[in-house]
Amino acid sequence: MALTRFTASLMLLLGSTLAWAAQANPTECTSGVRFTAAQAEIDAALKTVGDGPLRNRARLESQLKASGATRGWSQEQQAEMLRKAYSSAGYWALEKAKQPHVSTLMQAVTASSGPDPRVSKCTAARQVKASAWAVADIHGRQYAYVAREVGLIQATQAKAR
């Protein structure tokens, strides 16, 4: 019985601690330095998300060009391989999985200019970073998928990435 009360008390304490941690702290962005840092975190996360696909696509095209030259593939053949990979069901399944994270990311960025921008900015910075990591992870999986589809890497290498 004492153990049950202890467990219940512990669960209540843990639950209230988690609920408190989930709420925005109204003093967390009271200093201009923290507010500026939060905006910098949002900007960096957005840059990472925006640059990832461009960087991956450029790397993929460069690798395919080099590999295609040694294998005797024409530019048209290489372009067709990429077109097929980018329009495949597997690629679009990853794209579909990415959409909720992109939506959350956009909502967090919009919320960063909310009614109390100091609180919103710091809360949004955490949300943006979490969503950006998820989007970047899916970008990486999309790159590996396309690279595997066009024969640049083996399936075992793609799983290791």
Predicted confidence at residue 149, as pLDDT, reads 92
Q: What percent of the chain has pLDDT over 70?
A: 72
pLDDT, tens digit (0-9, with 9 covering 90-100), for 15-43: 433 333 334 444 456 667 787 888 888 88
Enter the DSSP assignment of 153.
S
- Please identify which residue in the block is written with the tokens 């900015």: 121
Q: What is the pTM of this model?
A: 0.68
pLDDT, tens digit (0-9, with 9 covering 90-100), for 41-86: 888 888 888 888 899 989 998 999 898 889 898 999 999 999 999 9
CA atoms within 13 A of residue 51's CA, in its CB half-sphere: 6
- Please identify which residue in the block is written with the tokens 């003093």: 27
Ranges assigned E (strand) in 36-89: none
Contact between 85 and 146 under an 8 Å Cβ cutoff? The reply is yes
> Largest Cα–Cα distance of the chain, in whole Å?
77
